[in-house]
Structures are given as structure tokens and as C-alpha cells.
Amino acid sequence: MHRAKLLLCAALACASAFAQALEIKPYTAATLAQAEQQGQPVALHFRADWCPTCRAQDKVLDGLKSEPGLKLAVLAVDYDTEKDLKRRFKVNSQSTLIVLHGRKETARLLGETSAAGIRAALESAL
């Protein structure tokens, strides 16, 4: 019984660590509004499937998901359809990454594909 409790605690600790790491999910207005209202860190990745730079950024972001210190959500924004959001954030090009802490912009990258550059931008909101 004692061993089962230890295994359960270890499993929950691992699940908790992964739940608090970088999370990549599709953009929704509700998710962004909630993060802004609650003062949470969040990043907007304005991307397009046809964009090779965006695909390179996707690979870097996927690689950063295992870093437990990056506790924020990256919202994948469809560059071709989210015209109002592009106007709001003055985005003129795909492969733009905007990092926010609540409503405050802490970093903006355009076309950056290095893990170090993207990590530093994401860390700016933490």
C-alpha cells in the first residue's frame, strides 16, 4: 500500500510539471481574453501553413515544450484569417511572435528561428 502511494505521488508530480510547461494550442479570443484579464503570460504566434519560417518556428516551439521553466501558453494564430487580431497588434507579416504578460507586450520577434531567441522572448513574460 505504501509503495502504491509513492508511485501515485510521483506520477502526479510528473503530470503537474508537464501541465505547467510550455503549451501550444490554437488561438481563440476567449483564451487570449482570459490570459489578459488574469495577468497571465501568453504568446501569440502569427503563422501560416504555407510559410517555411513559421514551420521552422513550430519545430523550435515544440522543442521548448519540455522545458519546465517556460510556464505559458503559445496561441497559434492563423495569419490568413485573423485580420482583426493582426490589426489590433499591428502585425504585417507571418512568422511574428508577440509575447504578453497580461495586456503588456514584453517581446516581439519577426522571423526568428533560433531556440535561444525564441526562449528569451518567451521568458520575458515570466
**pLDDT value at residue 21:** 84
**pLDDT value at residue 68:** 84
Domain boundaries, the chain: 21-123
| CB contact burial 10-21 (16+ within 10 A = b; e otherwise) | eeeeeeeeeeee
| CB contact burial 33-56 (16+ within 10 A = b; e otherwise) | eebeeeeebbbbbbbbeebebbee
Q: How confident is the model at residue 62 (pLDDT cuts 50, 70, 90)?
A: very high
Query: Percentage of the chain surpassing pLDDT 90?
Result: 80
**Segment 84-103, tens digit of pLDDT:** 999 999 999 999 999 999 99
Q: Which residues pair with 114 in a beta bridge?
A: none
- The verdict on domain 21-123 having CATH code 3.40.50.720 is no
**Segment 4-43, tens digit of pLDDT:** 443 334 444 433 333 458 999 999 999 999 999 999 999 9
The pTM for the full model equals: 0.82
**pLDDT value at residue 41:** 96
